[in-house]
């Protein structure tokens, strides 16, 4: 049990609340991770707040014109009415069409209609409840989004096996990933979550790396193992370098093998700069399943939705439908993408123009909102706190990684912010030497 959960339980154990609490309730806690650190940064990070996964310009969140102009014009049935449990049908159809447009390798016959869920987190959580037993195992990367631990370990009571994502070079540690997945598959089934662009590293595979991952999963399935692949595509589309596959790996897995079930969990949260909408989509694909199977699985998801939140946010669904249909959207997304790519390139220039830092090793990054340093010889949390005294908010993970949301920093401020990070890390390294 997590130490934070034990701490909360010790406060409640001699009370009626503690005596009545379920085993899940006893496992639950609020992590001192991204959300808690972000709240602290809001109070102290006056220079730059690079904590939360949002994109800003001139101190304000990026906002699509179709959203701002349509907000006051929504009809009552688009605002206060309940949405259907699985989501507004027209919204689901429109999102499926977008998936097919962006992932041209998908055979539509092998694809379900998306289910609308209240955010990507909820989509991952419902999927875990549907396909992962208590005591079961799901494989993720190391490093990974800190919420995976809360979802899979604490909520679901499963084991989260984290495989090294990188080997110290410029790309994926395919040997470690392959060995880990083959070992996990010896139990007769395999469950894995892939997150590209990755949070916290900001990395997406090259074509050769994706080919290797696809072949690995095919080999495992052909050996007789049932394989579940969750594709956490929260940052899909934000690819800044040549050589990165522009489609989700989900697109290739859908057609790959009858023993592979691929599930794409995505939405407008990051792709369309609509973080607070709290809506996302769960889309399933497999060569071995058809319409009747998708109908049955979707009804299972509807049971989880009905028994938790009843339905997803109605206004958000209609606003996203209007955004998808709005002629301004494509050009505006291109403009926002160029803004983020410029910030990405500013970070790359800073790092590449300097000799290697004695205490900070950048993890490979080429996409998304973030980049991360591996702290060597210094504690990431100590560095985070030192940076707060300098007005800079960042995220410390696992005591050894420092995540920076470059999407939230103006391009012209990048030199100053990263200069402070290098200087603070160097000072800590000097003290510990």
Looking at residue 285, what is its pLDDT? 93
- Residue 71 resides in a domain: no
Q: Stretch 5-11: mean pLDDT, rounded? A: 89
Q: Among 264, 297, 325, identify where a domain stops.
A: 325
Question: Which of the residue ranges 35-39, 146-150, 164-168, 223-227 would you say has the lowest mean pLDDT?
Answer: 35-39
Question: In terms of DSSP H, where are the helices of 80-193?
Answer: 89-102, 120-131, 147-148, 174-184
**Residue 45: pLDDT over 70:** yes
Residues 319 and 334 placed together within one structural domain of the fold = no
Q: What is the CA radius of gyration of the chain?
A: 22
**Residue 319: pLDDT over 80:** yes
The residue with greater pLDDT, 68 or 27, is 68
Q: Among 308, 325, 342, identify where a domain stops.
A: 325
Residues 150 and 247 placed together within one structural domain of the fold = yes
Residues 382 and 290 placed together within one structural domain of the fold = no
Looking at residue 59, what is its pLDDT? 85
Q: Among 292, 307, 325, identify where a domain stops.
A: 325
Looking at residue 237, what is its pLDDT? 92
Residues 271 and 291 placed together within one structural domain of the fold = yes
**Residue 67: pLDDT over 90:** yes
Looking at residue 155, what is its pLDDT? 92
Residues 53 and 149 placed together within one structural domain of the fold = no
- Residue 70 resides in a domain: no
Residues of the chain with pLDDT > 90, as a percent, come to 79
**Residue 309: pLDDT over 80:** yes
Calculated CA dihedral for residues 252, 257, 259, 262, nearest 10 degrees: 10
Contact 165, 205 (CB under 8 A): no
Looking at residue 206, what is its pLDDT? 95
The residue with greater pLDDT, 156 or 3, is 156
Q: What are the pLDDT digits (tens) for 345-376?
A: 999 999 999 999 999 999 999 999 999 999 99
> What CATH number does residue 363 fall under?
3.90.1150.10
Q: What are the pLDDT digits (tens) for 243-291?
A: 898 899 999 999 999 999 999 999 999 989 999 999 999 999 999 898 8
Residues 313 and 337 placed together within one structural domain of the fold = no
Looking at residue 432, what is its pLDDT? 63
Residues 156 and 32 placed together within one structural domain of the fold = no
- What mean pLDDT is reported for the chain? 93
- What is the distance between the alpha carbons of residues 215 and 220, in angstroms, rounded to a whole number? 9
- Residue 203 resides in a domain: yes
Looking at residue 35, what is its pLDDT? 74
Residues 228 and 344 placed together within one structural domain of the fold = no
**Residue 433: pLDDT over 70:** no
The model's pTM is: 0.91
Residues 315 and 335 placed together within one structural domain of the fold = no
> What CATH number does residue 244 fall under?
3.40.640.10
- Residue 177 resides in a domain: yes
Q: Stretch 367-386: mean pLDDT, rounded? A: 96
- What is the distance between the alpha carbons of residues 329 and 73, in angstroms, rounded to a whole number? 18
**Which domain does 146 fall in, by range?**
77-325
Residues 290 and 348 placed together within one structural domain of the fold = no
Residues 268 and 414 placed together within one structural domain of the fold = no
- Residue 18 resides in a domain: no
How many structural domains comprise the chain?
2
CA distances from 181 to 163, 215, 223 (A): 9, 12, 13
Residues of the chain with pLDDT > 70, as a percent, come to 99
Q: Stretch 8-24: mean pLDDT, rounded? A: 83
Kindly report the number of other CB atoms within 10 A of residue 411's CB atom: 16
Q: Stretch 327-355: mean pLDDT, rounded? A: 97
- Residue 72 resides in a domain: no
Q: What are the pLDDT digits (tens) for 161-211?
A: 999 999 877 899 999 999 999 999 999 999 999 999 999 999 999 999 999
Looking at residue 14, what is its pLDDT? 84
Looking at residue 164, what is its pLDDT? 94
Residues 315 and 358 placed together within one structural domain of the fold = no
- Residue 389 resides in a domain: yes
Looking at residue 12, what is its pLDDT? 85
């Amino acid at each position: 049990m997590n130490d934070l959960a034990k701490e909360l339980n010790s406060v409640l154990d001699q009370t009626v609340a503690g005596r009545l609490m379920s085993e899940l309730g006893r496992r639950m806690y609020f992590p001192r991770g991204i959300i808690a650190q972000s709240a602290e940064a809001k109070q102290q990070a006056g220079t730059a707040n690079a904590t939360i996964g949002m994109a800003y310009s001139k101190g304000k969140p990026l906002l699509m014109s179709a959203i701002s102009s349509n907000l006051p014009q929504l009809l009552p049935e688009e605002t206060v009415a309940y949405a259907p449990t699985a989501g507004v049908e027209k919204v689901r159809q429109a999102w499926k069409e977008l998936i097919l447009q962006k992932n041209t390798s998908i055979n539509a016959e092998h694809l379900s209609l998306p289910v609308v869920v209240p955010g990507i987190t909820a989509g991952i959580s419902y999927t875990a409840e549907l396909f992962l037993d208590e005591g079961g195992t799901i494989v993720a990367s190391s490093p990974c989004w800190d919420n995976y631990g809360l979802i899979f370990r604490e909520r679901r009571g499963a084991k989260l096996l984290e495989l090294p994502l990188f080997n110290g070079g410029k790309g994926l540690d395919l040997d470690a990933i392959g060995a880990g997945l083959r070992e996990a598959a010896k139990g007769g089934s395999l469950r894995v979550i892939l997150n590209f662009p990755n949070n916290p590293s900001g990395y997406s595979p090259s074509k050769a790396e994706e080919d290797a991952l696809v072949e690995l999963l095919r080999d495992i399935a052909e050996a007789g193992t049932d394989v579940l692949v969750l594709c956490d595509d929260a940052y899909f589309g934000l690819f800044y370098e040549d050589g990165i596959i522009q489609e989700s790996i989900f697109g290739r897995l859908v057609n790959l093998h009858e023993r592979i079930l691929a599930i794409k969990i995505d939405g407008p949260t990051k792709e369309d700069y609509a973080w607070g909408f709290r809506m996302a989509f769960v889309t399933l694909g497999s060569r071995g399943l058809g319409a009747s199977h998708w109908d049955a699985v979707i009804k299972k998801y509807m049971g989880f939705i009905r028994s938790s939140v009843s339905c997803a946010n109605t206004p958000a669904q209609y606003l996203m439908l209007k955004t998808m249909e709005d002629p301004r959207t494509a050009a505006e997304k291109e403009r926002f993408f160029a803004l983020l790519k410029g910030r990405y390139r500013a970070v790359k220039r800073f790092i590449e123009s300097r000799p290697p830092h004695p205490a900070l090793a950048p993890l490979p990054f080429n996409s998304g909102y973030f980049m991360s340093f591996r702290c060597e010889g210094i504690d990431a949390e100590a560095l985070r706190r030192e940076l707060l005294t300098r007005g800079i908010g960042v995220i410390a993970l696992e005591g050894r990684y420092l995540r920076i949301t470059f999407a939230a920093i103006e391009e012209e401020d990048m030199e100053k912010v990263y200069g402070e990070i290098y200087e603070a890390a160097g000072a800590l390294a000097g003290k510990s030497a």
